């Protein structure tokens, strides 16, 4: 398989998974959500004011973090497929 064909296949697979990311599908992406509370616990220990999530997918984890710690600024970056974007969740 050429590099371009592999890249195209990867983008198609990512797009298909991203469409189901926040639903109840028992995919690896949704199984990772069980780790969000542990990650939040670690974030609460950090004195930082800015949080960057590279590969944020739909940004669901950053929204949870912002709701729990509104004084920090959150930035999400996603570079593949339909979720190719950058966003900032401002301090509340």
Q: What distance in Å separates the CA atoms of residue 82 and residue 69, rounded to the nearest whole number?
A: 28
For helices 60-68 and 36-45, the axis angle rounded to 10 degrees is: 50
pLDDT tens readout for residues 65-79: 888 888 888 888 877
Mean pLDDT of all residues in the chain? 76
pLDDT of residue 85: 59
Q: Which helix (H) or strand (E) holds 88?
A: strand 85-89
Query: Mean pLDDT, to the nearest integer, of 49-70?
Result: 84
Is it the case that residue 64 has pLDDT exceeding 80? yes
Q: What distance in Å separates the CA atoms of residue 53 and residue 83, rounded to the nearest whole number?
A: 14
How far, in Å, are 9, 40, 53 from residue 79 at the CA level? 15, 24, 12
Is it the case that residue 81 has pLDDT exceeding 80? no
Query: Mean pLDDT, to the nearest integer, of 39-59?
Result: 84
């Amino acid at each position: 398989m050429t590099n371009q064909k592999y890249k195209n296949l990867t983008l198609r697979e990512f797009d298909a998974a991203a469409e189901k990311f926040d639903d109840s599908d028992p995919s690896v992406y949704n199984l990772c959500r069980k780790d969000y509370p542990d990650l939040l616990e670690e974030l609460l220990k950090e004195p930082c004011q800015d949080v960057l999530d590279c590969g944020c997918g739909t940004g669901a984890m950053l929204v949870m973090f912002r709701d729990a710690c509104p004084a920090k600024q959150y930035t999400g970056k996603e570079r593949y497929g339909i979720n190719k974007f950058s966003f900032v969740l401002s301090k509340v």
